[in-house]
Chain A
Amino acid sequence: MPVEVKGGQDVRSFVRTLVEEQGSEKAELIPILHEINHELGYISDEAIQELSDRMHIPTSHIFSVATFYRMLSTEPRGRHVIQFCESAPCHVAGGRQVWQSLQKELGLEKGETSADEKWTLITTSCLGVCGIGPVIIIDHDIYGNVTPEQVPNLLKNYD
């Protein structure tokens, strides 16, 4: 099934518009990938193909860039992405127990998306809010000083 983007545009014309607006210099590649990822939730093969045609950059290069950066995904993700910080400051502050609770509540392994496509659970390196570790970010909401007991209630905020 073709993925639709805002305003009923198809992916190819959405990508085309982006390239027209931002230019086809190679330096624009990562900003454009950001936009595609934001709009579709991931970077589809179709988007990569169209980008390649418009920017005259090999698909292999685009794919290698898109898979290098953590904020970009070439796999579809759930409606809500949960990022769990697994770096040392959060770990020392009790992150391990929070991670256990998250996994138990969601029934997901690291990197997995739930069958109903609601959740994607990923781990991440430091998010720069270490003063309040352990930290999880759901979509763009930052939760700090999280305890394992709070996890079920946090998840209830999202449909």
Chain B
Amino acid sequence: MKAIRSMVLVSGDQVSLNHGALEVFNALQQQLAAFGLEEEITVSMVNDVNKPGLDPLVLVYPDAVIYGSVTPEDVPHLVEEHLYKGRVVAEKQISPYDLTGRIAWLSARKGTLPAEHRIVLKNVGLIDPENIDDYILHDGYEALAKVLREMTPEDTINEIKASGLRGRGGAGFPTGLKWQFVAGAKGEKKYVICNADESEPGTFKDRLVLEGDPHSIIEAMMIGAYAVGANEGFVYIRGEYRLAIHRMQKAIEQAEAYGLLGDNIFGTDFSFKLHIHAGAGAYICGEETALIESIEGNRGEPRPRPPYPTTAGLWQKPTLVNNVETLANITAIIRNGAAWYKAIGTTSSPGTKVYTILGNVNVTGLIEVPMGITLREVVSIYAKGMKDGANFKLAQTGGSSGSIIPASLQDTPMDFDSFSKAGVSLGSGALLICNEDVCVVDLAKVLLNFFRFESCGKCNPCRIGNRRSYEVLCNIAEGVGTEQDLKDLQMMADQLYQLSNCGLGQTAGSPLRDILAHFRAEVEAHIKLKVCPAGVCPMSGHRVYQID
């Protein structure tokens, strides 16, 4: 076996590719060959979070040096100086802290931010997502082999149940229990679906897993399929995620070529067939029954529940639907055991959570940390504080359907139970952090505008409630709001929650309810005093452009 002394990684996300990452990759290969280094130094394309201006990036391991932005013309110098002579090229080097908007992380070496703990994103940015061998080298398909050879389906479900893993799509339902429901459902034919229709504003964690580590999802789906007795699966990927679709397609083909997908896997009688279904642009399709309707060739309108997909899902057959981040935990749990997993995070919410950090902070980007850290810690440690020293006003957790967290809740541990006790939801893990320049009426308007468009229109409370709430908020922003509007808003927020058919409508009202609960005075100032305290709304004299 040849000895590798160094690994060179080129960022291969869509923005990097637009900026010539492939040319840099090719130039690196050429130069390494020219210096006779191709046997001892490998070059891989990896995934990364985008940051125009510094893309494409080149990372050199084990030195943990990042260069950016690199052009093909820079490559000869970099190879000669750093990889041949061992001297870091300082003028091209960048610090991980400059990497606003990307994974500010470099294995367990220099530049690691405190307390990051990677399970879901373990391989992202480290392995070549288009090379199955690279995945196998990083323990890939080991968990599948273990399950098929040493564990019964019941053992598998019990292991996941014992781990305490809860669904990361937003609702936090115990994953093992869901698996058990599908396993116990009557029917010869069952399906497994990976919900990769991530379109919650502010959330892009699933995209990174799909683009950076697609095989981990295939492997986890197969473990789930074995556990529940399914032999066919779908990955429903949001249509806009072109690179993710491409990488997943390639991963499926490679797994098929290795006999890791198909009939009689590892010589057992377990067979599994996997398809990709690309979404066509509809937020509602992240709702599992809407997603199922969409695969069947219909408008993505949610079905009444019950029956739940676990008993009557795709083509009315029992169906296991799991989110990408949930699945990305599975192989690690199987390999390391439930006890290992249970020891991470909090008692009722074990494991880690991936957060995307956005808004008025110094470092935006993405982290994976144990469950239970607080918002204050996220802002001060990972986001390096508020931008321009401004004051924290609020954060929205979990995307547009998430909760609005006022400063008083900054020290609540972020886990499912602590959050639900405080009356807020963790959602998808997007953290939109806002300073005092953000007006809650304006923010609510943007959020309701989103739901107004994304409501599928099937049920009245959601279709009409979102539209009407948006109109009322516009009036308040214009300075023509009345006290009755305030009452109407409260009523509509409550009714959206109480009367809507599915999660979209039920959660659409939650930012509105939170704003009325925590920032009522600011809304009242708009109505009674005709003043926008943050100076954002049209009534404050600024010319504000309405998108609609």
Contacts and interface: CB of A to CB of B under 8 A. Distances in A.
A130 B443 contact: no
Contact of B358 (A26, A92, A127): A92
Given A29-B297, A86-B449, A88-B443, A131 B102 contact: yes
Nearest to B443: A88
B400 A88 contact: yes
Given A128-B199, A131-B50, A33 B280 contact: yes
B299 A131 contact: no
Contact of B15 (A26, A99, A100, A132): A132
Interface in B435-491: 438, 443, 446-447, 449-450, 453-454, 456
A91 B547 CA distance: 10
B170 interface: no
Report whether over half of chain B's contact residues are helix, strand or loop; otherwise say mixed: loop
Interface in B473-518: none
Interface string A65-78: 10011111000000
Given A131-B50, A131-B364, A91 B446 contact: yes
Contact of B204 (A57, A65, A69, A131): A131
Given A99-B545, A128-B199, A87 B400 contact: yes
Interface string A100-141: 100100000010000000000001111111111100000011
B101 A144 contact: yes
A71 B364 CA distance: 28
Interface in A23-48: 25-31, 33-34
Contacts of B358: 89, 92-93, 130-131, 133
A31 B276 CA distance: 10
Contact of B432 (A92, A103, A142): A92
Contacts of B430: 89, 130
Contacts of A31: 277-278
Nearest to B442: A91
Given A126-B199, A133-B358, A26 B296 contact: yes
B233 interface: no
Contacts of B247: none
**What bracket does the count of chain A residues touching chain B fall in?**
35 or more
A140 B246 CA distance: 14
A86 B199 contact: no
Contact of A126 (B18, B201, B239, B364): B201
Nearest to A90: B201
B83 interface: no
Contact of B447 (A88, A110, A128): A88
Choose among B15, B201, B430, B447 the residue with the greatest number of A CB atoms under 10 Å from its CB: B201
B389 interface: no
B545 A26 contact: no
B278 A34 contact: yes
Contacts of B49: 131
A88 B547 contact: no
Interface string B95-137: 0000011100000000000000000000000000000000000
Contacts of B294: 30
B242 interface: yes
Given A69-B281, A132-B51, A142-B18, A125 B450 contact: yes
Given A131-B49, A142-B14, A87 B202 contact: yes
Nearest to B437: A92
B11 interface: no
B282 A70 contact: yes
A27 B15 CA distance: 32
A91 B443 CA distance: 9
Given A86-B547, A87-B446, A144-B52, A126 B281 contact: no
A64 interface: yes
Nearest to A71: B281
B434 interface: yes
A42 to B, nearest CB: 13
Given A34-B278, A144-B52, A92 B360 contact: yes
Shortest 10 CB-CB contacts between residues of A and residues of B: A70-B281, A69-B280, A87-B201, A71-B281, A131-B101, A126-B201, A26-B297, A29-B297, A68-B299, A128-B204
